[in-house]
Every structure is written in C-alpha cells, then in structure tokens.
A and B are shown apart, each in its own frame.
Chain A
Amino acid sequence: MANTPTFSTPDGQTIAREQLIVYLNVGTYATPEWAAIGTRVEDSSMEYDWSEESNQDILGVTHSSMKKPTITQSFDGVKLSSGDKAYEKIWLEGVKNQNPQALCNLDILVAHFYAGAANAPFGERYPSSMVRPTSLGGEGGGDIVMPFDATYGGVRETGTVTKGNDGAITFAKAA
C-alpha cells in the first residue's frame, strides 16, 4: 500500500472525530475480534512522543534527532457498561485478574477511516500494547468510572481495515 495515504473525505471539509477509532482485540491474535474503545468518552487523543533532542555544536549549528514515536492515549470518563466487550476485557485483566502480563500484551488496532481508499481505509495494529486502568469508582448517584491509559506497542503492522455490514472489523496486513 502507499506510504502516504491520502484522505478519502470530501475536499475542503473537516474530518469527523469518529473517523478515527481504536479497537481492542477481544479474541485471539490469529482470530481477532475487534471491539471499539471509547463509548461515552468525549475527548481523547493519541499523544506522540518522538524523544526529540536538539543540540548546538561549538560552531553554532543546531543538530536535531528523534526516534520513532511512543504513542500513548488516555481514555477519561470511561463509564462501565454491560455488553461493552472492550471495557469488559480491560476490567477483567486489570481489576479482577490484576494480570500485568496480559495488560502489557493487549492487541490494539487503530483505524483511520478517513485515510486511504474509501473501501479499504488505513489501519495500524499494535499487538503488544499496554493498557493500564488508573482508577475505579465515581461519585454517589453517578456511574462507575474506570479511566485508563494505553501505550501502543509491539511490532507495528500496517494495512487496511474493512467494516462488514454487521459492523465486524477486519484488518488485512499489507504485503
């Protein structure tokens, strides 16, 4: 696939936030089942840490460097709700099992529905991502809230994402 996918949305129009969706694999690596993350979350962004560094030599010339980004994302305002498979899996491994190994090897897919071909938008898979619930609770009379942070990791795969008529997500790794 092309290295620089172009946007598939109409020219001159801004792109709706829901065109960028993060999915958690609640199945297996070989037979993934992708569940969207973000129900009831009103604001969340992927943060890119490039480990940038700039130095100036004795001649006054500035030299800059950076590494491939470490991507983190915080999901605040996550309200637990039955039937949300992504939240249930994070709760299972984080709250019930307290399994750090499982939490460090979660399979995450980032779908950029606005980029690439309209029928095969760009996707990137991070098979060993870390998800960390940061708290669990809430105010009286309210909802149980479980905000969590995600750090996308593992050997990154890029490819295309397709969404079936039943809403099922399929990721195809680029050759």
Chain B
Amino acid sequence: MADASYTGGSTLDGGDFSSYSGGAYEDGGGFDWGEQTALERMRDFVTRYGDERINSLTIDYTDQVPSSAGLFPGGLVELSRTKDIMGHVSVESQYNFALYTVLEKSPEDDAGATDNAEWQMRFQEWVQEQSAMGLAPSFGDEPRKERMVAQNGELYSADEEGTALYVIQMSVSFTKNY
C-alpha cells in the first residue's frame, strides 16, 4: 500500500500530469507508445487522464499530500500458454497495478467525499472506454485482443487532517508470441 515513509520507489520522468505531451494517434486509433517499457506505458497512460486534482504520479510511493498519486505494480501473472503444431508459443499474461490517490476529504465532509468517489468512478469508466476503443497502450503482440480494466475503486483510508487515500485496481491482459 501507499507508504509515505517509503523512499525506495522510483519517480520516472514525465510524471507531471500537466506537462504530459505524449505520442500521437496513429493508424487504427492506436497510440504511439514508442519503445517505452511496460511500466512507462502504464504510467503515461494513467497520466493521460488529466485532472487538475492530481498533480503528480509516482511509482511505488505516494506523498501524503492532497493531489498526489502513486502507481504500484503488482507483478505479472501468466494466464495461459499454448503451442501450435509448428512449435510457435503463445503466452497470455496479465499485469496488475494499484493506483493510489490522495485527495482532500475532511471528516464528515459529504460533498468532498462525493466528489472524490465520482472521480474514482469517472476514471474507471475512462479506462474502460479507452480499452474498448483501442486507445489504451499495447503490451503484447496482438493489440486488438488486449484488455485493460480499472475496477474496485474505493476509499482505502482517511485521516483527521483532511486527506483520504483511495485505491483503484488496474490490470491489463495481453498476448506475446514466441
């Protein structure tokens, strides 16, 4: 989980929401993700959402100040592995992430809580839309079949100082051919 005292995480360049100037749409509605690593792609994708309430996105770390967010990779899970009669291997895998966001929320502040909850819901719908329209980043060799989901967004914790920590579970399934 997000640990304000944790200092081992990295903060990749380009994590500022307001400064994002990523690639351009190319053939088929896809996004030009260049030669980025999987983590960089995921980070840039989340950053694309753009919202004035989120100022920074760090990896494996979240500042305990409002408007900060942290992307926590949860590892890769191999879902299936098949081999055709010619010896080609096809592996379906899934990357898991947790997106933690720190937002303003005073105790018993219903309006603030509502805003935050709606932000969570909008973000999840946006990820769904991006994936369904083929605009999410590609992680494997068959982009058309890839699927990204953001789900189970919820309040994780709240303190008396006027901040609350929310978490959204994200995952992307993809296929690589060898």
Please give the residue numbers on chain A whose beta carbons come within 8 Å of chain B beta carbons, in ascending order.
16-18, 20-21, 36, 38-44
Contacts and interface: CB of A to CB of B under 8 A. Distances in A.
For this complex, into which size category does the number of interface residues on chain B fall? under 10
Contacts of A20: 85
Q: Which of B85, B86, B87 has the most CB of A within 10 A?
A: B85
B86 A21 contact: yes
Given A16-B87, A20-B85, 20 more contacts: A17-B85, A18-B83, A18-B85, A18-B86, A21-B85, A36-B86, A38-B84, A38-B85, A38-B86, A39-B86, A39-B88, A40-B84, A40-B88, A41-B85, A42-B82, A42-B83, A42-B84, A42-B85, A43-B85, A44-B85
The majority secondary structure among interface residues of chain A is loop
Contacts of A36: 86
B19 to A, nearest CB: 36
Contacts of A42: 82-85
A21 B90 CA distance: 18
Interface string B59-95: 0000000000000000000000011111110100000
B175 to A, nearest CB: 11
Nearest to A22: B85
A2 to B, nearest CB: 26
Contacts of A40: 84, 88, 90
B87 A18 contact: yes
